[in-house]
Amino acid sequence: MAVRPIMVLGNPVLRNKAKKVSRIDQSIQRLVEDMIETMRAAPGVGLAAPQIGVPLQIAVIETEKDEVHVLVNPEIVRLEGEHEPDEGCLSVPGYWATVKRAERVWVKARDARNKLIKVRGEGLLGQALQHEIDHLQGMLYLDRLDDLDNMRRTEPSRRSEHDANRDPSEESEVRGEAQSEARA
Ligand code: ZN
């Protein structure tokens, strides 16, 4: 397994529709392992293959520790409700925004063993499912904003402060943390 470099905004691989995986073989399984390691190292709650420069329809999500969803050729089958969570992206470092998302989502996909799976997600999992599937269409969360002025800067010291003595009453800290937990 290896941590791969993450492509950032401006790289065309993030803007192209990824190709369907035709055969889930060992090379795909190795790629999935690298994606999981890269997501955890970032750290993020999800990662799509184009984010490491591979234009294939594969995403990994880990919103609960050690509960990894591997999604090959995922498709949204149903969306329900709406909410506006804070969201960030590993490929758009230093920023976050409040994004309109469906509250619940149902997705079908193959897993790394080519088994057909169905995932229902709400909350952070639902948000990550929508965010990663957007990546596979060449879409970024900022495309869903009415105005790019709604993007906010993450304070540069945020990451190192993550577990430091924060004052939870400071709203910017709390919102910044919500953002870092929702990066994908
Ligand atoms: Zn992203």
pLDDT(1) > 90: no
Residue 156: predicted pLDDT: 63
Q: Which residues have CB less than 5 Å away from ligand 1 (the ion)? A: 89, 184
Q: Using pLDDT thresholds of 50, 70 and 90, give the confidence band for residue 180.
A: low
Q: Using pLDDT thresholds of 50, 70 and 90, give the confidence band for residue 20.
A: very high
DSSP 2-15: -PPPPP-TT-GGGT
Cα(169) to ligand 1 centroid in Å equals 28
- CA–CA gap between residue 162 and residue 142 (Å, rounded): 24
Residue 91: predicted pLDDT: 98
Cα(107) to ligand 1 centroid in Å equals 18
Q: What is the pLDDT of residues 99-147, one digit of tens each?
A: 999 999 999 999 999 999 999 999 999 999 999 999 999 999 999 999 9
pLDDT(41) > 60: yes
Going from the C-alpha of 138 to that of each of 12, 31, 46, 160, the distances in angstroms are 9, 19, 16, 31
Residue 182: predicted pLDDT: 79
State the catalytic residues.
132
Tokens of 30: 């190795």
91 and 121 Cβ atoms separated by less than 8 Å: no
170 against 11, higher pLDDT: 11
Domains defined along the chain, listed by start? 12-175 (3.90.45.10)
Scanning 20-170, the segments in alpha helix (DSSP H) are 26-41, 123-136, 158-161
For residue 111, give the amino acid letter: D
Residue 96: predicted pLDDT: 97
Cα(115) to ligand 1 centroid in Å equals 25
Cα(184) to ligand 1 centroid in Å equals 4
Cα(33) to ligand 1 centroid in Å equals 18
- CA–CA gap between residue 158 and residue 17 (Å, rounded): 32
